[in-house]
Chain A
Amino acid sequence: MDVLTLSRFQFALTAGIHYLYPPLSIGLAVVLVMIEGTWLKTRQPVYHQMARFWTKVFALTFAIGVATGIVMEFEFGTNWATYSRYVGDVFGSALAAEGIFAFFLESGFLAVLLFGWERVGPRMHFFSTCMVCLGAHFSAIWIVVANSWMQTPAGFHIVGQGVKARAEITDFWAMVFNPSAMDRLFHTLCGAWQAGAFIVVSVSAWYLLKKRHDEFARASLRIGLVAGLAASLLQLASGHISARGVAKNQPVKLAAFEGRYETRAGASLALLGWVDEKNQRLLFSVEMPGMLSWLAHGDTRAPVTGLLEAAPQPEDRPPVNFSFQLFHLMVAVGFGMILIAALGFLCFWRGSLFEKRWLLRLLALSVLGPQIANQAGWFAAEVGRQPWIVQGLLRTSQGVSAVVKANTVLAAIILFSAVYLLLFAVFVYLLNDKIQHGPDDGDLVPSGKLALHARP
């Protein structure tokens, strides 16, 4: 294999595994803010116990997220040096802003969140939790802004020619608020909130199934379901806004997502299907007439651009079937999450959830949903942008490092695969261990400085 293919594989591997963790951290940070806020307000010891338990889970995901995240920052330079030279002026500043505004905030207050229980008062601790949550969101903002600039570049001009050509900023805020940035940020954050909410839902439902830690599980489940349902419904809205943005800004990508070759008025929405790329047809599709036109342009009769028009040359198209399948997987799981969250919430509210073991089992598995959707969504977003590394400006094949050899990249892939496999195994082992161990009953009696503030 060549350096390009190997480098793409390496980036997909390291980014995909990395992205198992940050959504959990972002989402759990929100849940932790909710839990600690409730504790400060109600002073019920169970919320203190919950805060302690979920902080431990948070710490685990955060540590691996940080460790696997540094790799991403280095890889732009190691594997995509030509790309880095080309975009450094624009992309680099977003990355540096992430470091200054997000990572320092997050890592600094994380210390208080994890180790400060006995050292600071409850209000200061709550403040630190909020700051960690804010830091996690800042980090999402800057990295999604940077990635969105690669999808819909704005606020720049090209200086120089040939190998010396590069993008330079002309308008910082136009770069930050590039056409897809805010839509995609909202979409990414909703996915992260779902990931955090549903891990809480899953673990709590599992405790209820096993009849363990009843009070803890019910209180956690309530917060998890509220957050999960809210995030899933918001995700529906953000998904719709995102899709409209893609239709407007990246018609090739939308056509690939939907497997459309012909430009057609009143285009129907395929619920599932298989794209025959050779004959440029969509096979076995189940379709809703006019829906795609309505979703993309708000009018059932509006024309939706097909691949033949948007990218007449086949080399300008992404892998169509791959994009189609991943996009549809994401959408299907997204709707599934709404259904599961709504059902869980309804039964919880009516008090019938605890007898419905099948629903508890479903909820216990629900943690997988957001993970699958987040992975599928990002793969669709990044593969759907191909063959461009920066849409319309630089091809992925032009971005790869000039001096790196294929066998070197292969060595790195083998090394990263071994390390990440080990990390993932240890993560699952420790997470399982924490869940099996459950919350500490000792946490029902706040100790240290916290004891002074607890009401009887």
Chain B
Amino acid sequence: MNFDGLDLNTTWFILIGVLFTGYAMLDGFDLGVGALHLFTKTDEERRIMLNAIGPVWDGNEVWLVTGGGALFAAFPNVYATVFSGFYLAFVLLLVALIFRAVAIEFRGKRPMLWWRRMWDGGFSAGSVASSLLIGVAMGNIAWGVPLDERGEFTGSFWSLLGPYPLLLGITTLALFLMHGAIYALLKTEGALHDKLRAWINNCIVFFIICYAVTTMATLLYVPHMAARVRANPWLFSIAIFNMLAIANVPREIHHGRDWRAFLSSCVAMLALMGLFGLEMYPNLVFSNPGPANSLNIHNAASSPKTLGIMLTIALIGVPAVLAYTVSIYWIFRGKVKLDRMSY
């Protein structure tokens, strides 16, 4: 296909953002359910939690895999720099993702208590660690990492664990906890549902505190992440929209409109990622110190030909993906009922 006149580099910046936002909205809730998992006590409750995400978690994770593949294809320099620079962090993320994936599959296969406890632990620890690590990675991208003139990362594993990235790690965990709790509300009924309803306020309060601290820290210590909004005051409307969406979550929960709370939570993620993207643009990895070495949508990108081919692939693939993702969620709509095929 011919995409003359289209800024392919910017288009792919947006599309990568869309993929990672999709990942946050979808895998975010099942990571959150995983983080909440150990708070439920009985075997039946835990099975319901697992089966709430059972048919969909695998598909949700594909958003990360495809996001990684798209990053590789569209901005290979970013992929290479970040993945080799964040080596140990990503290995830990992989181990965490592996553990939670197999724990979901393995847990219900044997009845022994120690067996189920072990995989419960793996599922929960894997979910918490994944959320934290994803947040820390985002935090480093926002804060900036030291790059040399060839665009190679010059820091170390420990230099990735600065206070701001750690704060973003905790905020991400808080966001996923809230998101997951709302999703679990949608999928449960009876005593477990009431229990979750009691927890959800804690999750919301935890997230709002983290969100406020992160926003303050960003404005005070990471001025480049607020520069565009400062220069274009009308963009502040997105920030207000974001705050309203977050404030709407407890309101909808209070009125028992869980679906709307879930949508609000999704919208809040969309606005957060939107702000993140706006402030990063046109950089993909901000070099700090030495901003001249930053990787941006031009010096890190593949050729226009490849970006065009990839866009064609996306235009064919994405509508199909959306169609069957929606169908799967539709087929598995409603409250969880345990049957013999369940986890």
Pick the contact of A168: B77, B102, B306 (CB < 8 A).
B306
B65 and A112 contacting across the interface, CB-CB below 8 Å: no
Is residue A446 within 8 Å, beta carbon to beta carbon, of the partner chain? no
B110 touches A77 (CB 8 A): no
| B76 in the interface (beta carbon within 8 A) | yes
Residues on B with beta carbons closer than 8 Å to the beta carbon of A110: 58-59
Specify the chain B residue showing the minimal Cβ separation from A64: B102
- The answer to whether B240 has its CB under 8 Å from any CB of chain A is no
* CB nearest neighbor in A for B321: A104
CB distance from A64 to the nearest CB of B (A): 6
When each residue 70-93 of chain A gets 1 if its CB lies under 8 Å from chain B and 0 otherwise, what string results? 110110111101101101111111
Once A68-B98, A93-B309, A108-B324 are accepted as A-B contacts, the answer to whether A118 and B77 lie under 8 Å apart by CB is no
Which of B84-92, B136-144, B251-259, B276-284 is found at the contact surface with chain A? Answer: B84-92
Any B CB within 8 A of the CB of A114 = yes
Cα distance A118–B337 in the bound complex, in angstroms: 11
**Across-interface contacts of B10 in A (CB, < 8 A):** none
In the complex the two chains form, is A96's CB within 8 Å of B73's CB? Answer: yes
B59 touches A108 (CB 8 A): yes
Determine whether the beta carbon of A109 is less than 8 Å from that of B314.
no
Q: In the complex, are the beta carbons of B80 and A85 less than 8 A apart?
A: yes
Q: Mark B313-337, 1 if CB is under 8 A from A, else 0.
A: 1100110110011011001100000
Q: Are A73 and B109 in contact (CB under 8 A)?
A: no
In the bound assembly, the distance between CA atoms of A361 and B273 in angstroms comes to 59
Say yes or no for B206: interface residue by CB 8 A criterion: no
A:353-410 near B, CB below 8 Å: 401-404, 408
How many interface contacts (CB-CB < 8 Å) are there between A and B?
229
* Interface pair A111/B102, CB less than 8 Å apart: no
A36 within 8 A of B: no
On whether A116 and B101 interact (CB within 8 A), knowing A92-B69, A168-B302, A403-B154, the answer reads no
CA–CA, A116 and B341, complex, Å: 9
- Could you say which interface size class chain A belongs to? 35 or more
Is there contact, CB below 8 Å, between A112 and B70? no
**What CA separation (Å) do A433 and B115 show in the bound complex?**
14
Bound complex: CA of A95 vs CA of B74, how far in Å? 11
Q: Check B117 for interface membership: any CB of A closer than 8 A.
A: no
Indicate if A99 sits at the interface (CB-CB under 8 A).
yes
Residues of A within 8 A of B94 (CB): 70-71, 74
Set B58, B83, B85, B339: member contacting A74, Cβ < 8 A: B83
Q: Which residues of A contact B320 (CB under 8 A)?
A: 104-105
Within 8 Å by CB of A104, from B74, B88, B99, B324, lies B324
User: Taking the complex as formed, is A120 at the interface, i.e. its CB lies under 8 A from any CB of chain B?
Assistant: yes
Chain A residue contacts of B61, Cβ below 8 A: 66, 70, 107
Which B273-317 residues sit within 8 Å CB-CB of chain A? Answer: 302-303, 305-306, 309-310, 313-314, 317
Residue ID in chain B nearest A402 by CB atoms: B152
Q: Across the interface, which residues of A come within 8 angstroms of B82, CB to CB?
A: 77
- Tell me if B65 and A88 are in contact (CB < 8 A): no
Task: Identify which of B79, B101, B157, B339 contacts A84 (C-beta below 8 A).
Answer: B79
Report chain B residues within 8 Å CB of A93.
73, 302, 306, 309-310, 313
* Closest residue on chain B to residue A412 by CB atoms: B91
Complex Cα distance A192/B168, Å? Answer: 43
Q: List 11 additional A-B contacts (Cβ < 8 Å) besides A104-B62, A402-B84.
A: A67-B102, A77-B82, A85-B80, A89-B302, A92-B69, A104-B66, A104-B321, A111-B55, A403-B153, A415-B95, A442-B340
B residues contacting A by CB (< 8 A) are: 54-56, 58-59, 61-62, 64-66, 68-70, 72-77, 79-85, 87-88, 90-91, 94-95, 97-99, 101-102, 104-106, 109-110, 150, 152-154, 157, 302-303, 305-306, 309-310, 313-314, 317-318, 320-321, 324-325, 327-328, 331-332, 339-342
Return 6 A-B CB contacts under 8 Å, by A number: A70-B65, A85-B77, A89-B306, A93-B302, A111-B58, A412-B91
